[in-house]
């Protein structure tokens, strides 16, 4: 009998070890334990780990880790099973040994989650882990530190990530371009574009060469800053560096063009990728070259490109074109995925077409396209937006039952809309139900609460939420800072808003919304001089909203001719008036001028691409009713 033999042999060895004496007893016993553990672990018999837990010393554990370093899957399981056991505590070092082994075997995701365990569950600081990794390996083991940088950015530890990169540089160890890209991408995700450019310039200064991903990030950053032509010119820089653009960069340019109201440009870009240089730098030869290379690379628009364009059309009110594009896509053999369906359903809801959205949803099911984590939230938001908050709550609860609402997404939407009804209690209830389900509020949740409190009860309560957010180690982003700024402006507290803007500038975190918010604040409280001063200093940063705010102020002051002049400036700068410009101007002109003037203004604006919405319609209807036409 195997077991009998085995146990008698163990007993024999054990007895012999006792006879040799206490000094040598322990290595012998450790050997036996070691072998027994290895045999059992290889057969995935985990019971022994529990049985022998009181004997597992650090030296024994390191031996086991080394023994299994060739099979990282098994190693990870050992590590986790030991971690589950209360009697044995992992040292930071044993975890770092495991991390080194995982990275050595290219199991980066496993290494990443081990690091996250150390940071989150065990509360180790990034630099503690850094030191331990050096102690258990070598500082020149770059992939390990690349992973550590990634772990930092994934958990919002921006400064730690940056300090790590700097610290390694002092040791003449350079994290890879991949880690640098990861850091740059993180800065864009948290909305810190100022810091993005500082980090990028620094990276180039220290001799890194951009790869295709770095260039894509540059395109993304420039698109976010609405510097579309600069974003396009990144393509030249890429080719000059001998790097061929890929579809990801082009997709971002398509998105940037759509968001800058340049749909035609987006379409051209897709139809003939080389065309983009026309009207920008005037170098058709280079454009042809780009196109040629892209065709060679098999770089044709993918499903994502079409999705972005579907979004672009819909966003600008051309839902019909979006559907036409879908037909074209299907003709080209690209099958709409859940993202394309989601986008269309989303925009149908935004247009108020609830039944159309419902129809498309059933079509999605019919075509066996599985709904994803976005679909559920889009339905919840769509219903809320169309005044069916109770129905949205019903769908939400149904989703919770069916386990479709696992993330904070739809919760955030509900909190937003319940807050809009000034139902603070109701919003708090949704927040509580989040906690009950083990969902942790994210930055958007806090942002929504801050805006909600600003509008429902004033800035003070909003600031409480802000400090709560800081306590939970969540970093404020640009949207949150802008919301707080709006709160100050709405309460005429321009001292605090000045301090805040100063701080935001120092942090390099501000955008057009920041200044538009302040501008709107000035206009609302009649600070005309300040408003003009700010407007003039905004320069190229001024966007459509900036002009709408200024036009509205001039109209309210009865300076209609000046408002029209400003409309001209707006058009000269390539900014298209929208339905808000329309309502502002029509409301004003109908009060002061003849019906001919109103009709003239209407035609003028519609010819320049304004697509009337419900409120523009109301503006005209009220004028017609008053005129008795």
Partner DNA sequence: CTAGGGTTAG
| Pick 137 or 249: Cβ nearer DNA | 249
Among 107, 195, 381, 602, binds DNA (CB under 7 A): 381
Which residues, numbered 338-367, are part of the site for DNA (CB under 7 A)? 338-340, 342-343, 346
- CB of 196 closer than 8 Å to CB of 187: yes
Q: Where are the alpha helices (DSSP H) in 190-317?
A: 193-205, 212-224, 228-240, 247-259, 263-271, 284-296, 303-315
- CB of 305 closer than 8 Å to CB of 270: yes
| Pick 33 or 218: Cβ nearer DNA | 218
Question: Distance between CA 11 and CA 277 in Å, rounded?
Answer: 82
HEC string of 348-365? HHHCCCHHHHHHHHHHHH
Which range, of 242-250, 532-540, 592-600, 620-628, touches DNA by CB under 7 A? 242-250
Among 98, 233, 412, 497, binds DNA (CB under 7 A): 412
Which residues, numbered 247-306, are part of the site for DNA (CB under 7 A)? 247-249, 251-252, 255, 303-305
Which range, of 33-41, 130-138, 162-170, 609-617, touches DNA by CB under 7 A? 609-617
Which residues, numbered 303-322, are part of the site for DNA (CB under 7 A)? 303-305, 307-308, 311
- CB of 419 closer than 8 Å to CB of 427: yes
| Pick 126 or 513: Cβ nearer DNA | 513
CB of 448 to DNA, least distance (A): 5
Which residues, numbered 179-238, are part of the site for DNA (CB under 7 A)? 181, 185, 189, 212-213, 216-217, 220
Residue partners of 428: CB distance under 8 A and separation at least 6: none
Among 113, 117, 337, 525, binds DNA (CB under 7 A): 337
Which residue matches tokens 């029509």? 586
Nearest to 225 by CA among 196, 254, 268, 263: 196
CB of 20 to DNA, least distance (A): 57
Among 110, 531, 578, 601, binds DNA (CB under 7 A): 578
Among 103, 111, 478, 575, binds DNA (CB under 7 A): 478
- CB of 263 closer than 8 Å to CB of 312: yes
Nearest to 563 by CA among 574, 579, 551: 551
| Pick 407 or 491: Cβ nearer DNA | 407
CB of 401 to DNA, least distance (A): 20
Which residues, numbered 518-547, are part of the site for DNA (CB under 7 A)? 520, 544-545
Strand, coil or helix: 27: helix
Instruction: Give the pair of three-digit tokens for residue 520.
Output: 């709107």
- CB of 587 closer than 8 Å to CB of 620: no
Taking CB under 7 A as the rule, which mask of x and - marks residues 62-81 in contact with DNA?
--------------------
By CB under 7 A, tell whether 146 contacts DNA: no
Which residue matches tokens 């919840």? 380
Torsion sign across C-alpha atoms 127, 131, 134, 137: negative
By CB under 7 A, tell whether 513 contacts DNA: yes
Helix axes 478-490, 494-506, angle to 10 degrees: 160
CB of 204 to DNA, least distance (A): 17
CB of 352 to DNA, least distance (A): 13
Among 10, 62, 246, 388, binds DNA (CB under 7 A): 246
Which range, of 158-166, 316-324, 377-385, 397-405, touches DNA by CB under 7 A? 377-385
Q: What is the DSSP string of 147-204?
A: HHHHHHHHTT-HHHHHHHHHHHHHTT----HHHHHHHHHHHHHTT-HHHHHHHHHHHH
Among 563, 583, 601, 602, binds DNA (CB under 7 A): 583
By CB under 7 A, tell whether 245 contacts DNA: no
By CB under 7 A, tell whether 598 contacts DNA: no
DSSP character at residue 299: -
Which residues, numbered 439-468, are part of the site for DNA (CB under 7 A)? 442-448, 451
Interface with DNA (CB under 7 A), residue total: 76
Which range, of 65-73, 98-106, 126-134, 410-418, touches DNA by CB under 7 A? 410-418
CB of 225 to DNA, least distance (A): 12
Question: Distance between CA 494 and CA 69 in Å, rounded?
Answer: 62
Strand, coil or helix: 83: helix
């Amino acid at each position: 009998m195997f077991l009998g033999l085995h146990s008698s042999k163990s007993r024999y060895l054990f007895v012999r070890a006792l006879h040799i004496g206490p000094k040598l007893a322990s290595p012998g016993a450790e050997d036996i334990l070691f072998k027994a553990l290895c045999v059992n672990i290889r057969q995935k018999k985990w019971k022994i780990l529990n049985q022998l837990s009181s004997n597992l010393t650090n030296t024994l554990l390191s031996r086991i880790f080394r023994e299994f370093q060739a099979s990282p899957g098994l190693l990870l399981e050992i590590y986790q099973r030991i971690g589950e056991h209360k009697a044995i505590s992992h040292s930071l070092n044993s975890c770092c040994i495991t991390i080194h082994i995982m990275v050595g075997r290219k199991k980066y995701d496993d290494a990443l989650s081990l690091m996250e365990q150390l940071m989150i569950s065990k509360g180790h600081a990034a630099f503690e882990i850094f030191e331990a990794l050096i102690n258990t390996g070598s500082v020149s083991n770059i992939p390990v530190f690349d992973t550590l940088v990634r772990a930092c950015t994934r958990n919002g530890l921006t400064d730690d990530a940056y300090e790590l990169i700097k610290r390694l540089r002092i040791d003449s160890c350079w994290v890879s371009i991949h880690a640098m890209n990861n850091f740059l991408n993180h800065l864009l995700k948290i909305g810190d574009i100022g810091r993005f450019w500082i980090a990028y310039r620094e990276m180039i200064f220290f001799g890194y060469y951009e790869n295709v991903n770095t260039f894509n990030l540059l395109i993304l950053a420039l698109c976010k800053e609405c510097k579309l032509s600069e974003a396009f010119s990144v393509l030249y820089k890429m080719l000059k560096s001998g790097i061929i653009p890929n579809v990801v960069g082009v997709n971002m340019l398509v998105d940037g063009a759509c968001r800058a109201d340049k749909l035609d440009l987006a379409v051209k870009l897709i139809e003939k990728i080389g065309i983009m240089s026309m009207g920008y730098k005037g170098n058709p030869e280079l454009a042809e070259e780009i196109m040629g290379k892209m065709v060679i690379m098999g770089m044709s628009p993918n499903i994502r490109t079409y999705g972005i364009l579907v979004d672009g059309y819909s966003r600008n009110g051309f839902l019909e074109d979006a559907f036409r594009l879908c037909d074209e896509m299907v003709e080209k053999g690209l099958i709409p995925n859940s993202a394309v369906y989601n986008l269309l359903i989303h925009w149908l809801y935004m247009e108020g077409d609830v039944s159309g959205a419902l129809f498309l949803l059933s079509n999605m099911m019919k075509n066996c396209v599985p709904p994803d984590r976005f679909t559920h939230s889009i339905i919840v938001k769509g219903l809320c937006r169309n005044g069916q908050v109770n129905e949205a709550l019903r769908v939400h609860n149904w989703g919770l039952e069916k386990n479709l609402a696992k993330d904070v997404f739809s919760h955030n939407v509900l909190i937003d809309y319940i807050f809009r009804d000034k139902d603070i209690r109701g919003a708090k209830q949704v927040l509580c139900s989040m906690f009950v389900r083990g969902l942790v509020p994210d930055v958007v949740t806090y942002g929504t609460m801050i805006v909600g409190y600003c509008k429902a009860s004033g800035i003070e309560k909003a600031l409480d939420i802000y400090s709560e957010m800081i306590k939970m180690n969540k970093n404020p982003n640009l949207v949150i800072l802008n919301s707080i700024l709006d709160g100050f402006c709405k309460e005429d507290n321009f001292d605090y808003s000045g301090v805040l803007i100063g701080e935001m500038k120092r942090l390099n975190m501000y955008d057009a919304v920041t200044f538009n918010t302040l501008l709107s604040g000035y206009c609302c409280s009649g600070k005309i001089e300040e408003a003009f001063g700010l407007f003039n200093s905004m320069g190229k940063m001024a966007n459509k909203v900036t002009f709408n705010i200024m036009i509205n102020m001039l109209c309210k002051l009865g300076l209609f001719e000046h408002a029209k002049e400003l409309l001209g400036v707006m058009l000269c700068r390539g900014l298209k008036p929208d339905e808000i410009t329309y309502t502002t101007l029509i409301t004003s002109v109908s009060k002061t001028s003849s019906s001919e003037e109103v009709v003239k203004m209407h035609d003028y604006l519609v010819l320049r691409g304004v697509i009337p919405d419900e409120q523009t319609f109301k503006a005209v209807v009220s004028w017609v009713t008053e005129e008795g036409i």
